[in-house]
A and B are shown apart, each in its own frame.
Chain A
Amino acid sequence: MNEMNIANARYDVDRDGNNVTIIATIGGVKMHISIPSEGNRHYDEIMRRVEAGTLTIADAE
């Protein structure tokens, strides 16, 4: 129930250009999170913040 520090969120894509992963720095660690991953606390919090408008996931590089 503590606040999670999430920064530098961006998508990563497969060969067909589909968003398949979110890469983000969480608590100072670069994490790779598959899409979707309901039940993963990082994924759930990212999606909650995106829906609340407090986090934006950048396009893949």
Chain B
Amino acid sequence: MASNSKNLAELLNSDVTLTATDIANGAVTTDKIADGAVTAVKTTSVGKAKNLFYNGAMQIAQRTTSAVTVSDNSNEGYSTVDRWKIDFGSAMGGALVAEPVGSPAGNSEFERSLKLSCSTVNGGSMASGSTRFLSVAQYLEGKDLQHLAYGTSDAKDTTYSFWVYTNKTGRYGFSVISQDSSSGFDVWGSYFDVTTANTWQKVTFTVPGNTSADIINTVTYGLLVDIYLAIAANRAGVTNATWQGYSTARVPGVYTDYVDFLDNTSNVFYVTGIQLETGSQATDFEHRRYGEELSLCQRYYFKSGSQWMSGQSYGTNNSQDGLIMPIYWPTTMRANPSVSFSGGSDGLSGAALYTAWVEEEGMSVNLRSTNAYTSVWWSGFTVTADSEL
């Protein structure tokens, strides 16, 4: 072999295995690669903001970094890490403790994980007629997904990957539900098996583009992605790994194929490194800067500090008289958020906090006196704005 460039050409044409020394350092220079020699599928997502999920590394937890007990209708939904929803679907029984924690040893790439621990067993039936499920889920905005070209012959494949660690071996479910521009729903469901307890396992699914239904192009959700820790009878039964119309079932097989994570209070499940990217390959996780990830999450939820809100007010009646304090959100929110107030100390019994207006860009806090012609004050309260899907 006379030169490294010749070696490379010969190797590519002969389909032999390259060894570490077959291509010398610096041998493959830009001018030796013809235009178009590397196909688009091999460069998809390279160098871009490729992860369509938010907070896949579980770094952001604006609501709390403490453990939260979650059950049906109690702290259900968004309770700890940003953007990841814990769903006790259809009155799923039992309870778990959710907590953003340091990852167990064995996966040094991800310092943080979402830890779920069964705290109360599921005493309800999962058998015929039940639509219960337990999942960790994320809703993705339709406007962020239009480049996937769903509903066209150019619909793009996507790849989902994540890491799990659990003592509960067995089968877990996974599904993607899409919402189209007519508010119809399709589902793509599959499963993964955990065969070794207490060992990090990377799970990967490549989902073909859905050519038969588009994705709604609004700020409502276009995709709902669920990782299931329990599945009842009526949630199982779809054709494995195939796009199909959605009614109730989300995963293939029958419910007894799947674990019921809430069957024993010793069960623990960790998940992290969740990524959704275009293309048919699971590439390295995109680690975003903490501030960048926080800013992205604040489109959906914002919690102020507790010391920077205070005021004194005097009103003539219990309406929008009194002090009005404008607040601008750190980033434009997805939709007008729901606002809540907490903490601080109020002066006199007639002090009350209201909103004067709330929009995607900001709001005005209204400090009122419910006792006419009475001066009131409020110091050090926290504002939360929730625009989650």
Contacts and interface: CB of A to CB of B under 8 A. Distances in A.
B388 A31 contact: no
Which of A12, A15, A39, A42 has the largest count of B CB atoms less than 10 A from its CB?
A39
Chain A contact-residue range equals 20 to 34
B321 A32 contact: no
Interface string A1-25: 1110100000011110000110100
Interface in A31-48: 31-34, 37-43
Nearest to A17: B319
Contact of B87 (A2, A5, A12, A28): A2
For A2, A14, A42, which residue has the most chain B Cβ atoms within 10 angstroms?
A2
A3 B71 CA distance: 12
Nearest to A3: B73
Contacts of A23: 354
Contacts of B321: 15
Main secondary structure of the interface of B (DSSP, over half): loop
B89 interface: yes
A32 B319 contact: no
Interface stretch (B255-263, B271-279, B336-344): B336-344
Interface in B331-375: 334-341, 354-359
Residue from the set A12, A15, A28, A32 with the largest chain B CB neighbour count within 10 Å: A32
B120 interface: no
A43 B336 contact: yes
A40 B357 contact: no
Contacts of A32: 338-340, 354-355, 358
Contact of B335 (A2, A12, A13, A38): A38
B336 A37 contact: yes
B293 interface: no
A40 B336 contact: yes
Given A2-B77, A40-B387, A30 B89 contact: no
A43 B387 CA distance: 10
A45 to B, nearest CB: 11
Interface in B51-101: 72-77, 87-89, 91
Interface residues of B, number: 36
A61 interface: yes
Given A14-B320, A27-B77, A39 B220 contact: yes
B218 interface: yes
A54 B89 CA distance: 20
A26 interface: yes
Contact of B358 (A14, A34, A41): A34
A29 interface: yes
A30 to B, nearest CB: 6
A29 B89 CA distance: 20
A24 B318 CA distance: 18
A33 B74 CA distance: 21
A31 to B, nearest CB: 4
Given A29-B340, A32-B338, A15 B319 contact: yes
Contact of A3 (B75, B91, B219, B358): B91
Interface of B: 72-77, 87-89, 91, 218-220, 224, 318-321, 334-341, 354-359, 386-389
Given A28-B74, A33-B338, A40-B387, 11 more contacts: A2-B73, A2-B88, A3-B91, A15-B321, A21-B358, A30-B341, A32-B340, A37-B338, A39-B336, A40-B337, A42-B338
3 A-B pairs closest in CB distance: A39-B335, A37-B336, A34-B358
